[in-house]
Chains A and B, each alone.
Chain A
Amino acid sequence: NAGVTQTPKFQVLKTGQSMTLQCAQDMNHEYMSWYRQDPGMGLRLIHYSVGAGITDQGEVPNGYNVSRSTTEDFPLRLLSAAPSQTSVYFCASSYLGGGATGELFFGEGSRLTVL
């Protein structure tokens, strides 16, 4: 079972470059989300989606774009990378049952360094 797959696992960028972190899930989950994890700050929600064509901002959306054209894929785009975006990024997905999210299934993470 693939679950949630993130690519790449590691990436080094220069300030101002753009890139896309890919996320795919094979569990037919309606809910998908992106988090960043920084030391001492836990996980902070960047963007999320409750279905194809529907996205919304989380706690720290600035500098990031998302789209959800299919149920399976939820890419995260960095438009113009900044050193403050150096972090570990996690994609996570879940069923939307009973009006609330259930267990989140996480990818293995993508470590991004912006020089």
Chain B
Amino acid sequence: GDSVTQMEGPVTLSEEAFLTINCTYTATGYPSLFWYVQYPGEGLQLLLKATKADDKGSNKGFEATYRKETTSFHLEKGSVQVSDSAVYFCALSGVTSGTYKYIFGTGTRLKVLA
């Protein structure tokens, strides 16, 4: 079945370091891909998305490119800040045989130190 795999955490970085969080997926058809962020005590909120191959989603300095050939959607940021400390979830959505699906990875906790 469909699935999303993202790198284990926690990831600890110093402020202004480069961030990569890996995400790969398995899916039938052509899913949309998302990154969500969860700050402590809150629900998830959309960070960025891409709906077709080679699309690049971007927001708040974060970027991810929909790579169909490698079934990946890695999250990157050039210079992280303490305020980026949160849990990041990769997700896919689509429809297969009339069934709607929205599948999340297990989440990667990021801690940024000043």
The 0/1 profile, CB within 8 Å of A marked 1, for residues 33-73 of chain B is 01010000011111001000000000000000000000000
User: How many chain A residues have a CB neighbour from B under 8 Å?
Assistant: 26
Known: A92-B43, A100-B32, A108-B42. 20 other contacts (CB 8 A): A31-B100, A35-B104, A40-B106, A42-B105, A42-B106, A43-B107, A45-B102, A45-B103, A48-B100, A90-B43, A94-B102, A96-B100, A99-B95, A100-B94, A101-B93, A101-B102, A104-B46, A104-B91, A106-B43, A108-B43
B107 and A100 contact, CB distance less than 8 A: no
Tell me which residues across on chain B come within 8 A of A56, comparing CB atoms.
99
Decide yes or no whether B25 CB sits under 8 A from chain A.
no
Are B106 and A104 interface neighbours, CB within 8 A?
A: no
Interface string of A42-65 (1 = CB under 8 A from B): 110100101000001000000000
Report how many residues on chain B are interfacial, defined by Cβ distance under 8 Å: 23
The complex places the Cα of A99 from the Cα of B96 at a distance, in Å, of: 10
Contacts of B95 in A (CB 8 A): 99-100
- Assembly CA distance A107 to B39 (angstroms): 13
The residues in A between 3 and 30 inclusive whose CB is less than 8 angstroms from any CB of B are 4
For residue A101, which residues in chain B have a CB less than 8 angstroms away from its CB? 32, 93, 100, 102
Residues from chain B with a CB closer than 8 A to the CB of A42 are: 89, 104-107
| Residues in chain B within 8 A of chain A (CB atoms) | 31-32, 34, 36, 42-46, 49, 89, 91, 93-95, 99-100, 102-107
Q: In the bound complex, how far is the Cα of B2 from the Cα of A23, in angstroms? A: 27
Q: How far is the CA of A18 from the CA of B78 in the complex (A)?
A: 49
Are B100 and A103 in touch, CB under 8 angstroms?
A: no
B34 near A43 (CB under 8 angstroms)? Answer: no
B42 → chain A, closest Cβ, in Å? 6
Which residues on the A side are within 8 Å of B46 (C-beta)? 103-104
A107 to chain B: closest residue by CB: B43
B107→A104 contact, CB < 8 A:
no
